[in-house]
Amino acid sequence: MIGEEEKIKEYEIKENPLVDVAAYLFLEDIADKQGAAGMNNYLISLATSLAKSMPEEEYKTWDDFVESLERGESIISTFESVTAKTKHCMVTQKCPFERGWKEYTKRIGDFARVHKEVADYYNSTVKPGANDTQCIICQTFRAAAAERITVAKKRLKYAQVAAVAPDGSKKIAPDEWKPILLEKAGMSETDLNMTLRNNACVWILY
């Protein structure tokens, strides 16, 4: 039976390349018409609306929540496989957009520059944590999904620590924020750098 469940999960994850690549081109079309600011707003509304369309969750204890998160049953882990590195530090091994990015670069060529330009806009106007547009969607979704979850009747909160894009570029929280985030995560800077060697994203939930 477990094998069957794994098969379903595997099937769910493998979206069609045409859909992935078409979605990127759709976003690029928006950037052409509305510029980086317009695309940034669109991405934020896209991710927020996705989280809002999913059911709310409540957990009695932190352990119950983390177990659900790691099993992929929480809305936060719907699109990514999440492991809890410490009590509050969560790690995504593989970026949920990696497959789409690979299909894009394989079939179309270089990932359009606009994806980085919009991330620059997001980093300077919203929160400094994005490598490209994919990070904006992912991080906004996590924050909006966290707002739909309560643990021991307290609203869940999310903060981004570091992300590695499929092209290898890294975005780590600014130096002034890092000590606070690392303390909350319960890890040292060396731990963080080691974690980033074979993981795509490090974030905290509290």
Partner 1 sequence: MLDVALVSLIQDMSEKAGVEGTIQYWERVGESLAMRMGKEAYMGWPSFNVALREGRTAYSIEGDVTPLTDLAITDVDGDVVGYIYALKTCVFEPTMQRVRYSVGDIPRADAAVAEEYNNSVRDTAICNFCVIHQKFREEVAKNITIADQPLECVQLADRGFKGETKIARDSLKRIGINPEYVRSLLRNYACVFAILMKGARLRGEEEVEE
Please state whether beta strands 154-155 and 89-92 pair in parallel, antiparallel, or not at all (unpaired). unpaired
Give 63's Cβ-side CA count (13 Å radius).
0
Cβ atoms of residues 133 and 118 within 8 Å: yes
Helical packing angle, 114-125 and 133-146, nearest 10°: 40
Q: Does 20 bind partner 1 (CB under 8 A)?
A: yes
Comparing CB distances to partner 1, the nearer of 126 and 177 is 126
Structure token pair of residue 205:
């939930």
50 touches partner 1 by CB under 8 A? yes
Q: Which stretch binds partner 1 (CB under 8 A): 56-64, 84-92, 100-108, 124-132?
A: 100-108
Both tokens of 84, joined, read 């809890």
What distance in Å separates the CA atoms of residue 33 and residue 128, rounded to the nearest whole number?
25
By CB under 8 A, residue 113 contacts partner 1: no
What SS3 class is residue 167?
A: coil
DSSP 163: E
**Nearest-5° Cα angle at 41, 57 to 95:** 60
Min CB(107)–partner 1 separation in Å: 6
Segment lying near partner 1 (by CB under 8 A), choices 133-141, 160-168, 172-180, 196-204: 133-141
x/- map, 139-178, partner 1, by CB under 8 A: --x-------------------------------------
Q: How far is the CB of 137 from partner 1 (least distance, A)?
A: 6
DSSP state of 112: P
Q: Kindly state the smallest distance separating residue 191's Cβ from partner 1, in Å.
A: 27
Site string for partner 1, 59-88 (x = CB under 8 A): ----------------x--xxx--------
Which C-beta is closer to partner 1: that of 119 or that of 192? Answer: 119
Binding of partner 1 at residue 103 (CB under 8 A)?
yes
